[in-house]
Amino acid sequence: MDLSIVIPVYNEEQKIRHDITAASDFISGYGMTGEIIVVDDGSTDQTSEVVRNTAVDEGVSLKIIGYEEHTGKGKAVKTGIMEAGSDLIMFIDSGNCVPYANITRGIDLLKDGECEIAHGSRFLAKSFIKRSRTPYRKLVSFLFRNYIRVHSRIPKNLTDTQCGLKIYRKQIAHELYAECITDGFLFDIEIILRAREKGYRILEFPIDWTSDPDSRLSVRGTFLRLFSELRTIRMALKSSGQDT
């Protein structure tokens, strides 16, 4: 298989069918084979049933992995990535915020040998924001990015650590996520720090992005967890010799 697409979801019964269709059309439309892995992070609606009743194109397989307890995006992404078997593995947020055609920019970076990990970014010069976030969420995002940059050694070339679109070579994805301990929001930070310490190259590529007004992200809840999660990550990396 060429590409595994992991989609973490929580109560996305209204969106997931469109997500799957877009992912399937992308894989088949670009002459690839692959798989779509939807990880249901303890949804209380009909998300899993909608997934099971959604058709995909020939050459594309669809799998649903679910568990009862709502744990966090980090666990959902890790679960899907460790299950994925294609040469390239990516995860993408639900809601079709990024056109799938943009993904070829990241795939080309990996196939051309320019990096081992490719991140979409909303903050590059060539990125285009079709519908922006509210002023409040913009402020929160700005404060978060600066806090993370000050309190962890994120590479300076990375402008958008929390973008929900990242692509990996399979071996590297499995290696990094097997070590990941963060179930929640900051799993992206942990993976970046682990990749940096192992010498893996990360490059960003521009995307067209539309804000999802129905985001499952709780701003207040996220900031309440941020400090303890970051402390846990730093302690884990220090104990393994990867001091942040």
Joined together, the tokens standing for residue 242 give 């990867």
- Inter-axis angle of helices 187-198 and 73-83, nearest 10: 50
Q: Are 107 and 166 in contact (CB under 8 A)?
A: no
Average pLDDT score, the chain: 90
Domains of the chain: 3-239 (3.90.550.10)
How high is the pLDDT of residue 224? 63
Mention every residue, 6+ apart, whose C-beta is less than 8 A from residue 79: 39, 65, 67
Tell me the residue type at 175.
E
Q: Which residue has the tokens 């985001």?
A: 215
Q: Which residue has the tokens 């993904």?
A: 103
In percent, the amount of the chain with pLDDT more than 70 equals 87
How high is the pLDDT of residue 7? 98
How high is the pLDDT of residue 94? 96
Q: Please tell me the distance from the alpha carbon of residue 243 to that of residue 197, in angstroms, as a whole number.
A: 9
pTM above 0.75, yes or no: yes
Secondary structure class of 195 (helix, strand, coil) = helix
List, for the chain, all residue ranges whose pLDDT scores fall below the cut of 50.
none
Q: Please tell me the distance from the alpha carbon of residue 115 to that of residue 105, in angstroms, as a whole number.
A: 12
Q: What share of the chain is helix, strand, coil (3-state, %, to 5)?
A: 40, 20, 35
Q: Please tell me the distance from the alpha carbon of residue 208 to that of residue 128, in angstroms, as a whole number.
A: 5
How high is the pLDDT of residue 217? 55
Sequential DSSP letters for 106-153:
HHHHHHTTS-SEEEEESSSTT-EEEEPPPHHHHHHHHHHHHHHHHHS-
H or E element at residue 75: helix 73-83
